[in-house]
Amino acid sequence: MVPHSIRHHPADDLLLSLVAGKLPVGLRLVVETHVELCSACREKVAMLRAVGGVVLEDEPVATLREDALAQALARIDRLAEARAGDGTGPAKVPAPPPLPAGATWPRALADCSATRWRWIGPGMRWSRVTVPDAPEANVFLLRIGAGKYLPQHTHRGTELTQVLYGRFHDGRALFGPGDFDLADGEVHHQPVVQDGSECICVAAVEGRLNFDGLIARWFGSLVGM
């Protein structure tokens, strides 16, 4: 699906954290997915990287430990062995769950594996995304049918959501293809998919979501939210 005019972007401080390598893995992947889809944010990221390079050139030369290179090469070797399928590392990444015509699997997630679509309610499915070398990352895909909605909830941490396909409204704004959303403890919302098409998003959660009601909390525990 060709993105509509993207209206919702990561804040500049989030993009700066991305460039500086300070984001947790799950959040980083969602922000990278947005940057992949958004030319305006790609330009910002390129500018921030250029500025960062100039700053580094002005910094005094740091003294490294004598074994710094050896340690770095050893770590690269360990990562290569883990990905070689020798029985100790993760299995070969399977194909992603099928997406509707016009939706594409983000390149930012190319090294990740994902489960098949799992039923979580009428018109609602999800897929667990596993990140190599970061099993603690809580990343998943949501696929919600037209007119369906997630339970109302707030947050005990940070939730990043990137729309890949379709549209939803959560009481604050309308989010369409390419749009990005950050929700935290100050946000209490209920995403409702708009009529006409299902909606597919990739999301990452740091902390937990607080769902309203017992059934909704069961839903959250099922998905790991």
**Lowest pLDDT segment from 21-35, 63-77, 79-93, 148-162:** 79-93
Give me the pLDDT at residue 83, please.
43
Provide the pLDDT for residue 85. Answer: 44
Asked if the structure places residue 91 within a domain, the reply is no
Query: Tens digit of pLDDT for each residue in 133-147?
Result: 898 999 999 999 999
Q: Does the pLDDT value for residue 42 go beyond 90? A: yes
| pLDDT of 89 over the 50 cut | no
Lowest mean pLDDT among 10-14, 75-79, 177-181: 75-79
- Domains contained in the chain, number: 1
| Mean local confidence (pLDDT), 41-45 | 95
The gap from C-alpha 117 to its chain's centroid, in whole angstroms, comes to: 17
Specify if 183 maps to a domain.
yes
Q: Is the pLDDT of residue 91 over 50?
A: no
| Cα 143 from Cα 53, distance rounded (Å) | 40
Let me know if residue 185 belongs to a domain: yes
> Residue 34 belongs to what domain range?
7-63+104-225
Task: Share the mean pLDDT of the chain.
Answer: 80
- Determine the length of the chain: 225
Among 11-15, 58-62, 69-73, 149-153, top mean pLDDT goes to 11-15
Domain-located, residue 182 = yes
DSSP string, the chain: -----------HHHHHHHHHT-S-HHHHHHHHHHHHH-HHHHHHHHHHHHHHHHHHHHSPPPPPPTTHHHHHHHHHHHHHHHTTTSSSSPPPPPPPPP--TT----GGGTT-EEPPPEEEETTEEEEEEE-TT-TT--EEEEEE-TT-BPPPEEESSEEEEEEEES-EE-SS-EE-TT-EEEE-TT--B--EEPTTS-EEEEEEEES-EEESSHHHHHHHHHHT-
87 pLDDT band, cuts 50/70/90, is very low
46 within some domain: yes
Q: How far apart are CA 130 and CA 148, in angstroms?
A: 26
185 vs 182, higher pLDDT: 182
The reported pTM is 0.76
pLDDT value, residue 225 = 63
CATH number at residue 49: 2.60.120.10
